Structure 1
Amino acid sequence: MEGKLTTHVLDTANGCPAAGMTIELWKLEAQKHEKVSSHITNEDGRTDGPLLQADTMAVGSYELLFMAGPYFAQKTDLLPSPPFLDAIPIRFGIADLTAHYHVPLLVSPWSYSTYRGS
């Protein structure tokens, strides 16, 4: 079984997938953080493909950086400046290269939550 990393972003303030949100994937190492990739969510609030898969999966610590501030700024001009939530980091570890790691984000301009999905 090939492992992979996926994500899904739901805009809980507007009750819809968060289409058009930029997401960065970072590999975290002791002395440096390396940007692996950048993605923009599609109409379903997902990336068009896995963020990592089989040959790009590696054991280690990672961070997904969700650009919520710019996303919500495009939705309304009623938010404060600076926004309450801007770039939302979610740090997690990959230990099993054959597993599916799914990191969803439920987000509004005022709160967010995540979990390990399936």
Structure 2
Amino acid sequence: MAGISTHILNASLGQPAPNVLVKLFQNTAHESVLLDQQLTDVDGRIQAFKIESFIEGKYQLVFEVSDYFEALNIESFYSSVCIDFKVADVQQHYHVPLLISPFSYSTYRGS
């Protein structure tokens, strides 16, 4: 199924990161448009963002991680993590995972 999904793993705890607000934007040459925002579920996942019109182009996921770390009473460096990526084929599914820890993060294109 085509679309965009994500999940977050707290690498320092080896656990998913639930209740993290994630915003999906579509970026054009002139503006960024908020398409959807959701909280990660208990498994740290957002199965599918609600996208009215899935088109080729540039997108951005913004993970608001500061509240997550504050709720765990863990000092962290990042208030949010922004991942810019492009959709080249709307027939494909784009899964964009995030591995976080209080002072680092990593991402990749998943399946």
For 1:91 and 1:60, the matched residues in 2 are separated by 11
TM-score (norm 2): 0.93
Alpha carbons 2:35, 2:50 under 8 Å: kept: no
Partner of 2:106: 113
Secondary structure, aligned partner of 1:56: coil
> Structure 2: any 5+ residue segments left out of the alignment?
none
Match of 2:60 among 63, 78, 90: 63
The number of aligned residues is 111
Instruction: Please identify runs of 4+ aligned residues in structure 1 that moved more than 3 A.
Output: none
Secondary structure, aligned partner of 1:73: helix
Sequence identity, in percent? 36
> Structure 1: any 5+ residue segments left out of the alignment?
none
Secondary structure, aligned partner of 2:42: coil
Trace 1:1-118 onto structure 2 (pairs within 5 A). 2-47=1-46, 49-52=47-50, 56-76=53-73, 78-79=74-75, 83-118=76-111
Alpha carbons 1:68, 1:109 under 8 Å: kept: no
TM-score (norm 1): 0.88
Q: Considering only aligned residues, what root-mean-square deviation do their CA atoms show, in Å?
A: 1.4
Alpha carbons 1:69, 1:109 under 8 Å: kept: no
